[in-house]
Chain A
C-alpha cells in the first residue's frame, strides 16, 4: 500500500495542489486535510503548504494555528509523525509552537519571488535524509515574511543540535544565520521557506526539490517510525542519491 500524505488546506492556502501533485508523482497517495476537521485521517506524513492561511490576518499563521486540524497535526507530530511546513506552512508551525522562532518581514521590505541556492547542512531530518550535507539545491522562494529570527539561546540550541538543516548560500531576506529551514528536537517536524514542490520537474527549471520530498516519503513509509532513519547517528555516511531521485538534477556538490 502506498504511503498516505496529508496536505492541510486552510482558507487561503494556495500551494496544496502543487504539493499533492508531487507526492502523487512520487508514488504516494495525497489526501487533502480540510482545516476545520480535527483529524489527519491516518496519514503517514503531513505537509502544511504555502499560501496565505486565513488571509495572513494579524500575522502569518496566527489564526491558522487555532484551526481544528492543527491540534491533530500537533498530536501527530508529538507521536513522531513526519510534518513539513513549507513557506506559510513554516510560519504556521512556528505560531503553533511546533517549531521555535518566528518569521519576520524580509530585510529591505521586499516580497521575494526568485530561485535561490540552498545548502543542505544536515541529513538528519525527515526532509533531508536523502541528501548529502553540503549539497546545493536550486529552489524557488516566494515570500514577504521569510526572515527567520529567534532568541539567542534558541539559536545556540539550533546550532549545537544540528537542527539548522538548510541555509541560504546568498541570504535573500536577512534571516538569522542564513537559516532557510530548521527541524524540531525529534527531527520529525521541519519548516522551510523555499518551495521544494515548485522544484519538482526540469520543466519548472529545477527538480532539486524531489530529493527533499522523497526523503519525506522515506520517513513516512519507513518501517521504524516514529524513530526513522533520519534519527540515526550523525556520523553515518550519507549517500548522495540526487541523480537517481531527481532525474536530471541541476544540483551539485559544494566545493
Chain B
C-alpha cells in the first residue's frame, strides 16, 4: 500500500525559537494584532510503500526518531493517509 505521509517537526517546549519570536515581533508593524505563540518548524512530505498502516506508522516513527527529528530539541508528529492509486 502507498501512504501519503506528512511529518511535522517542531521545537520542544522550552527550546528557544528565535525565528518564531522574530516573526511575532514583525507582525504588529504589518497591522496584524493579536497573533501570539508563533512557532517555526519544518514540514516533510513523502510517500511510503508499506504492507499496512501499522507497519507504515512504525516505520515513520523510527525514521523520525533516528533521522528527521533531533529528540534533544525537536518533537515530531505524523499524519498519514492512504495514497491515491497510481
Contacts and interface: CB of A to CB of B under 8 A. Distances in A.
Nearest to A147: B16
A95 interface: yes
Nearest to A152: B14
Nearest to B42: A58
B58 interface: no
Contacts of B70: 59, 62, 95, 102
Given A101-B72, A102-B72, A102-B73, A149 B67 contact: no
Nearest 5 A-B pairs (CB), nearest first?
A109-B18, A102-B72, A102-B73, A102-B70, A104-B73
Interface string A96-113: 000011101111110000
Contacts of A80: none
A109 B73 contact: no
A59 B70 CA distance: 8
A105 B17 CA distance: 8
Nearest to A150: B72
B59 interface: no
A174 interface: yes
Query: Which interface residue of B15, B16, B22, B68 has the most chain A CB atoms within 10 A?
Result: B16
14 contacts: A62-B67, A62-B70, A95-B70, A102-B73, A104-B16, A105-B18, A105-B19, A106-B18, A107-B18, A108-B18, A109-B22, A147-B16, A149-B15, A150-B72
Given A58-B68, A59-B70, A104-B11, 18 more contacts: A58-B67, A62-B67, A66-B67, A100-B72, A102-B70, A102-B72, A104-B16, A104-B73, A105-B16, A105-B19, A106-B18, A107-B16, A109-B21, A109-B22, A149-B73, A150-B72, A151-B72, A174-B16
Contacts of A104: 11, 15-16, 73
B19 to A, nearest CB: 6
Nearest to A100: B72
Interface residues of A, number: 20
A52 B50 CA distance: 34
Contacts of A174: 16
Contacts of B68: 58
Contacts of A59: 70
Contacts of B22: 109
Contacts of A95: 70
A76 B72 CA distance: 25
A151 B71 CA distance: 10
Nearest to B22: A109
A74 B46 CA distance: 31
Contacts of B16: 104-105, 107, 147, 174
A100 B15 CA distance: 16
Contacts of A102: 70, 72-73
Contact of A149 (B18, B19, B72): B72
A219 B83 CA distance: 55
Contacts of B21: 109
Interface string A149-162: 11100000000000
A101 to B, nearest CB: 6
Interface string A35-75: 00000000000000000000000110010001000000000
